[in-house]
Amino acid sequence: MRPISPSPWSRRRRAGAVLALLMPGMAALAAEPPPLPAFDLERLTVTPTSRGALLGSAGLLLEPGALRLAVVTHYQHQPLVMVRDGRRVGEVVRERALLHLAAAVAPHPRLEVGASVPVLMTQGGMSLTGLGLGELRRSGMGTPMLRARVGLVREADGALVDLAAEVDTGLPLGRRDALLGDGNWSVTPRLAVGKTFQRMRVSLEAGARVRERVQVGSHSVGAEVPFALGVTNVDGTLRGELSFRAAAPLTGGGLWSGEVLAGARYLFSEHFEVFALGGPGVGVAPGVPIFRLLAGVGFDPLPLLPSKAAPPMLESGGVREGLPGDGPLAMVEPPVAEDGEAPPEREVESVLDQDADSVADGVDNCPREPGPPGNQGCPESERQVVYLTEKTLEITERIFFAFDRTEVLPRSYPLMEQVAKVLREHPELERVVVEGHTDNIGGAEYNRRLSQARAESVCRELERRGVEAKRLRAVGRGPDAPADTNATAAGRERNRRVEFHIVPVATAMPGSAREATP
């Protein structure tokens, strides 16, 4: 029997049925064009919890035990554009607004850890359907960032600069369809260095951003070397900041990028501040806007408890001889007369002044060389940082020591020489107590031992410069006699000090630099 071949009509009917089955899938494919290649559009690292600057640490860490929180609003104008012959011809992302939530804590004097989460509030731009691409999502969570900083050296410990090693780790959680991540981990190690010049602080940081390479149009986004130079004013409640930031690509097809940002922060207190900054971008690399603006607040919800205030210093009988700006003789209040009686006449004392420079020998740093009173009786060519008073030798510069050690650093040798010279010129000062003091960071007993050892080190430096050991006595007070509050960084810095106290001859106690703390 011959097989029966199907009729043309039956063949057409079956083809129609198959086509009808395939149509929904074909319609779905037509309705879901491929998305734009996924990558993290954010280039700027926002660190509003930093002590040093809004966009970087400047080598500084938070104080131990401090907890810092910050909320930042962030607007970008045209961070992603289509480029033809070096010109912008389309705005893939015309505007973008984010909210950054950040927190940082310092569990150790040398360690700071933190985290930040960017949240995309809205973004808009050109339609991508004409390019055969899917539309970008308008909101979503960005790439969470974990941050760790390790302090290597500190100016506060006598180093020339503050230096910190840092690393940012990006988690693969940012939304890919909103250009908030590429689904991969990213790592950015860097070094940050800063130095304070009177009221200004200069900082430099450089590192490497390691991430997957993604082709975006005719260019690529991938690994790069970001670096930044910043200048910040560090004095007063209103502090300005200027930063130049750039990145050099490490992958083929990448573009150089740069930005110039300026802003200010206003400190209402040690625990609350507001800030704002903004500036233009340089170049057309993905993530570089025409300009960006940031504003936010930073605060410490758990301020450090202040230590007990220092006991008030006793007046030295009204004597102010030899202090900066004062005359060579003490100003004494006029005696009070009783009703109907003439005030008693003042007693006039003869004051020894060998060099006839109007500065009494008792408070003259250079009693055998004439010099103006404003320079403690020394020639103007020898700037004085030591001031001799009735009970103390005041110094206007800090004595620097190696970190966590007792050696006096060479940068303090000129100060040591001047203190020794004053003591050599005044042999009538038979006993001087050298007191070492610390802040309250760390164990009290450890700080007492450290301050004792440092006071002894200062005594040894003075002995090497001709001061007899029997005239000196070292005492380590540790954190027991603060000169200021320990609740602020500035207060703790003032508490880390060395003092020189003159012991009256009648009460002078025997001893030397080798005595232990009483």
- Residue 434 burial by CB count (10 A; 0-12/13-18/19+): exposed, middle or buried? buried
How crowded is the C-beta side of 241, counted as CA atoms within 13 Å?
A: 28
Do 282 and 399 lie in a common domain? no
Do 286 and 400 lie in a common domain? no
Using only C-alpha atoms, the chain has a radius of gyration, in whole angstroms, of: 35
User: What is the domain count for the chain?
Assistant: 2
Do 392 and 292 lie in a common domain? no
Percent of the chain residues past pLDDT 90, beyond the cut = 40
Which pLDDT belongs to residue 363? 76
Q: In 352-443, where does DSSP find H-type helix?
A: 413-425
pLDDT by residue (tens digit) across 325-360?
333 333 334 445 555 555 555 444 455 767 666 677
DSSP one-letter code for 310: P
In a domain, 407, yes or no: yes
- Residue 213, both tokens: 């390479």
In a domain, 14, yes or no: no
- Residue 300, both tokens: 């410490």
Domain enclosing residue 254, as ranges: 33-299
Do 393 and 488 lie in a common domain? yes
- Residue 501, both tokens: 């106290």
d(CA 151, CA 112): 8
- Out of 275, 299, 323, a domain closes at 299
Do 128 and 257 lie in a common domain? yes
Q: Supply angle C-alpha 270, 271, 272, rounded to 5.
A: 105
In a domain, 172, yes or no: yes
In a domain, 351, yes or no: no
Do 281 and 402 lie in a common domain? no
Residues 455-490 as b or e (16 or more Cβ within 10 Å = b):
bbbbbbbbbebebeeebbbbbbbbbbebebbbbbee
75 Cα distance to chain centroid: 25
112 three-state secondary structure = strand
pLDDT band at 364 (very low <50, low <70, confident <90, very high): confident
Tell me: pLDDT of 496 over 80: yes
Mean pLDDT computed over 40-44: 89
- Residue 199 burial by CB count (10 A; 0-12/13-18/19+): exposed, middle or buried? exposed
Is residue 207 within 8 A of residue 191, CB to CB? The reply is: yes
- Out of 299, 315, 347, a domain closes at 299
CATH number, domain at 501?
3.30.1330.60
In a domain, 440, yes or no: yes
Do 390 and 241 lie in a common domain? no
Bridging pattern class, strands 431-437 and 472-478: parallel
How crowded is the C-beta side of 144, counted as CA atoms within 13 Å?
A: 7
CATH number, domain at 53?
2.40.160.40
Average model confidence (pLDDT) across the chain:
79
Bridging pattern class, strands 214-216 and 219-221: antiparallel
pLDDT by residue (tens digit) across 245-267?
999 999 888 889 999 999 998 88
Torsion of CA 261, 277, 45, 287, to 10 degrees: -60
Do 137 and 255 lie in a common domain? yes
Give phi and psi for 29, each to the nearest 5: -65, -40
pTM, two decimals, is 0.59
d(CA 459, CA 432): 10
| Strand partners for 406 | none
- How many residues appear in the chain? 518
Do 164 and 281 lie in a common domain? yes
In a domain, 76, yes or no: yes
In a domain, 355, yes or no: no
Mean pLDDT computed over 44-55: 75
Do 294 and 397 lie in a common domain? no
Q: Position of tokens 């359907």?
A: 129
Tell me: pLDDT of 285 over 80: yes
d(CA 487, CA 499): 22
Which pLDDT belongs to residue 373? 84
380 Cα distance to chain centroid: 36
- Out of 299, 331, 357, a domain closes at 299
d(CA 359, CA 352): 9
In a domain, 182, yes or no: yes
